[in-house]
Amino acid sequence: MKAMILAAGRGERMRPLTDATPKPLLRIGGQTLIERHVRALAGAGVRELVINYAHLGEQLEQALGDGAAYGVKIQWSPEPAGALETGGGIFNALPLLGDAPFIVVNADIWTDFPFGELPEQPDGLAHLVLVNNPLHHPDGDFVLSTGRVLQGGGARLTFSGIGVYRAELFAGSHAGAFPLAPLLRRAMDDGQVSGTHYRGDWFDIGTPERLQEVNDVVINRQ
């Protein structure tokens, strides 16, 4: 099973930290965000990774290389300045990801999620990992009901930025920048999205303040 790490975002809310450093290379507990994901995916048995990049992407390539140091093979998916948004970035990388379902994870989260528990064959077009709503996102995103992810009809949870997708989710899409959420919502309406609720550690590293907060938590545990 292949995995894609989404690393092309500009990280505007993280400025000035991201003026000279791409967001995935920011550190928590002495380890970069993206290196933690690479090691976790490798530990779950994933051997082929695709990583997209735009802003300061050459630094990512210099840091991770071809992945051999981590026991994986990394293929890089460069994007134009301004990036392609989540949906467009995945669509652009489909030739590298192949026909089988693949894992996608946002580079700018910190989690201890066990990637080995993800389904290799999702029941539908997508499988999403949902988490408890953080303080900065109290209303959540989607509803989880008897293993299906829905747009409404109950208490919402937050999408973690971790999922498994089939290439067919992107049927009818065209090259260029576009978001992922409309594709997921359409699939939800068709009953094609399953999900799980993860209750372990998960943090969205969206601002310098949150980066410092998570660093404090991790360092105190060491």
Q: Which is it for strands 142-145 and 148-150: parallel, antiparallel or unpaired?
A: antiparallel
According to the model, what pLDDT value does residue 118 have? 98
Residue 16: what pLDDT?
A: 83
Written as six digits, the tokens of 85 are 């948004």
Q: Which range marks the domain in which residue 32 is found?
A: 2-221
Say which residue, 120 or 9, is predicted with more confidence.
Answer: 120
Residue 150 is predicted with a pLDDT of 97
Mean pLDDT of 150-167: 96
At residue 222, the pLDDT reads: 62
- Any idea what the CATH number is for the domain that residue 123 is in? 3.90.550.10
In whole angstroms, give the CA distance from residue 178 to residue 185. Answer: 14
Integer Cα distance of 188 and 161 in angstroms = 16
Structure confidence at residue 65 (pLDDT): 95
What is the pTM (predicted TM-score) of this model? Answer: 0.95
Return the bridge partners of 91, or none. none
Output the furthest CA–CA distance in the chain (Å, rounded).
48
Closest among 208, 200, 184, 174 to 18, alpha carbons compared = 208
The count of domains in the chain is 1
Mean pLDDT, residues 128-139: 95
Q: What share of the chain is helix, strand, coil (3-state, %, to 5)?
A: 30, 25, 40
* Contact present, 74 and 49 (Cβ < 8 Å): yes
Q: Residues 185-189: what's their mean pLDDT?
A: 97
